[in-house]
Amino acid sequence: MKKRFLSVLLVSAMGVAALAGCGGGNTSADNGSTAADQMGAAVEDKTDAADTQKEDTSSSNEKLVVYTNSGTEGRDAYLIEKAKEAGFDIEVVALGASEVTERMIAEKNNPLCDVTFGLNNIEYEKLKANGLLQKWEPDWVDGVDADLIDPDGYYYPVTTTPLVLMGNADYDNMPSDWTDLTKDEYKGLYQLHNLGGGTAKTVFASIISRYQDPDGDLGISDEGWEIAAKFLGNAHNIADGEDAVGSVIDGTYPMDEHWASGVLTEQKDRDYKFQIMTPDIGEPYVVESLAISAGTKKYDTCVAFLNWLGSSDVQLDWSNNYGTIPCQKEALTQVSDDIKELMETLKPQDLDWSFIAENVDAWVEKAELEYVQ
């Protein structure tokens, strides 16, 4: 089992390694490169000064503002409570992954965020390109596969998350792949999240990136855009306040795109066993990481907090409560049986993360303008 988990993490790491060198090709990165150059010296000076203070990793009374896309399903309240027990005073701002990035870019001249938690490689590469992160190194780095770590030292992984299509237990027409949902028989039977969020964006990118064409619109063939139009057009888009999971259980919409940890949490909370689609091509996996904002004035407290948050004990507790798959090897060997059972059925999709990072924002913009109903 351990070998299986480490294999999964190693394949997921390919996405991280690919993205680490692709920031310069990203449309957002191109727009932010000049700003990044201008801020480079200031960030470097701040980092050098902070390095001399890293020995003092004790918490203080300084309040930290945490921007995260991992604040749903009660995670924000749980994080605040556990952090308080550990001696940290935090405020959690829960947003979608893209919204965190956009907000930090908008606040560049008046930064409010101290640390980020849960973003994936795509978003972190944008933040790096805009000079919005600063280097640091956690004291738990030896417990993480080196291939998962940003080689530039700006963000460090804590969890890896498969993205899946879950279904009603009694639904008898579960598709075998995301592309099957383009068939008329599935129209109005599955739910998609807002494309601005990390889950929906990554699933969408994992589908249309299969149709690369250097001569196509935004690097995608006509066939790929036809698939995109049908995939998005056939779906029910989840509105704020809707109980999407409840709609799966009662059969209103028998399928829903979801993150694996959320599936496990819902199964436990609702005492219900969902079906999970298992495409031959595999599922898109994302690696979620921690980082320190370049604009924080509380560097030492940020390091102390992230040393605590990323530690094996905390990540195992987080996993036990929310079904996450920890990157900490010590925690990974102790995950619950339901995580082990799920991971035995899933495998990572081989994705061209460099290509995705370079184009995903433009793909989403086109999709939202032309295809989202």
Segment 104-142, tens digit of pLDDT? 999 999 999 999 999 988 889 889 989 999 999 999 999
Per the structure, the count of domains in the chain is: 2
The pLDDT of residue 132: 97
pLDDT value at 263 more than 70: yes
State mean pLDDT over 282-297: 94
44: confidence class by pLDDT, cuts 50, 70, 90: very low
pLDDT value at 10 more than 90: no
357: confidence class by pLDDT, cuts 50, 70, 90: confident
Q: Does 78 lie in the same domain as 126? A: yes
The pLDDT of residue 340: 86
pLDDT value at 359 more than 60: yes
Q: In this predicted model, which residue has the larger pLDDT, 5 or 350? A: 350
The pLDDT of residue 60: 57
255-259 and 155-167 as β-strands: parallel, antiparallel, unpaired? antiparallel
Q: In this predicted model, which residue has the larger pLDDT, 184 or 322? A: 184
pLDDT value at 54 more than 50: no
The pLDDT of residue 35: 36
Of the segments 111-115, 265-269, 347-351, which one has the largest average pLDDT value?
A: 111-115
Q: What percent of the chain has pLDDT over 70?
A: 84
Q: Does 233 lie in the same domain as 117? A: no
pLDDT value at 42 more than 50: no
The pLDDT of residue 41: 39
What are the Cα distances from residue 175, in Å, to 180, 256, 273, 277? Answer: 6, 12, 17, 7
State the Cα–Cα distance between residues 291 and 156, nearest whole angstrom: 7
The pLDDT of residue 36: 36
The pLDDT of residue 118: 94
pLDDT value at 20 more than 90: no
Q: Does 182 lie in the same domain as 87? A: no
State mean pLDDT over 201-226: 97
Q: Does 143 lie in the same domain as 30? A: yes
CATH code of the domain covering residue 54 = 3.40.190.10
pLDDT value at 342 more than 90: no
Structure confidence by residue, pLDDT tens digits, 223-255: 999 999 999 999 999 999 999 999 999 999 999
Q: Does 187 lie in the same domain as 56? A: no
Q: Does 267 lie in the same domain as 304? A: no
The pLDDT of residue 22: 35
The pLDDT of residue 194: 93
Lowest pLDDT segment from 8-22, 179-193, 208-222, 288-302 = 8-22
pLDDT value at 201 more than 60: yes
Q: Does 327 lie in the same domain as 178? A: no
Q: Does 138 lie in the same domain as 167? A: no
Q: Does 364 lie in the same domain as 222? A: yes
pLDDT value at 354 more than 80: no
Three-state SS string over the chain comes to: CHHHHHHHHHHHHHHHHHHHCCHHHCHHHHHHHHHHHHHHHHHHHHHHHHHCCCCCCCCCCCEEEEEECCCCCCHHHHHHHHHHHCCCEEEEEECCHHHHHHHHHHCCCCCCCCEEEEECHHHHHHHHHCCCEECCCCCCHHHECHHHCCCCCCEEEEEEEEEEEEECCCCCCCCCCHHHHHCHHHCCCEEECCCCCHHHHHHHHHHHHHHEEEEEECCECHHHHHHHHHHHHCCEECCCCCCHHHHHHHCCCCEEEEEHHHHHHHHHHHCCCCEECCCCCCECEEEEEEEEECCCCCHHHHHHHHHHHCCHHHHHHHHHHHCCEECEHHHHCCCCHHHHHHHHHCCECCCCHHHHHHHHHHHHHHHHHHCCC
The pLDDT of residue 18: 36
Structure confidence by residue, pLDDT tens digits, 75-102: 999 999 999 999 999 999 999 888 999 9
Lowest pLDDT segment from 36-40, 248-252, 309-313, 368-372 = 36-40
Mean of per-residue pLDDT scores for the chain:
85
Q: In this predicted model, which residue has the larger pLDDT, 54 or 286? A: 286
Q: Does 11 lie in the same domain as 137? A: yes
b/e per residue 253-283 (b: at least 16 CB within 10 A): bbbbbbbbbbbbbbbeeeeeebbbbbbebbb
Q: In this predicted model, which residue has the larger pLDDT, 4 or 353? A: 353
Q: Does 131 lie in the same domain as 23? A: yes
Q: Does 156 lie in the same domain as 21? A: yes
The pLDDT of residue 344: 85
pLDDT value at 332 more than 90: no
pLDDT value at 179 more than 60: yes
Domain of 320 in residue numbering reads as 2-161+286-345
pLDDT value at 291 more than 70: yes
Q: Which residue type sits at 176?
A: S
